[in-house]
Amino acid sequence: RVHSALGYVSPFEFEAMYYDKINPLGQVA
């Protein structure tokens, strides 16, 4: 993710990464 590469993670990006890690089907759920 671009924000992560820049050293900044917006609340939305953080939430997305969090759910991506705990939910393999998060992309379609």
At 15 the pLDDT is 76
Cα 7 from chain centroid (whole Å):
14
Domain extent for 24: 1-29
Q: What is the pTM of this model?
A: 0.29
pLDDT tens-digit map of 1-29: 555 555 666 777 777 777 667 666 655 54
Q: How many domains does the chain have?
A: 1
At 13 the pLDDT is 73
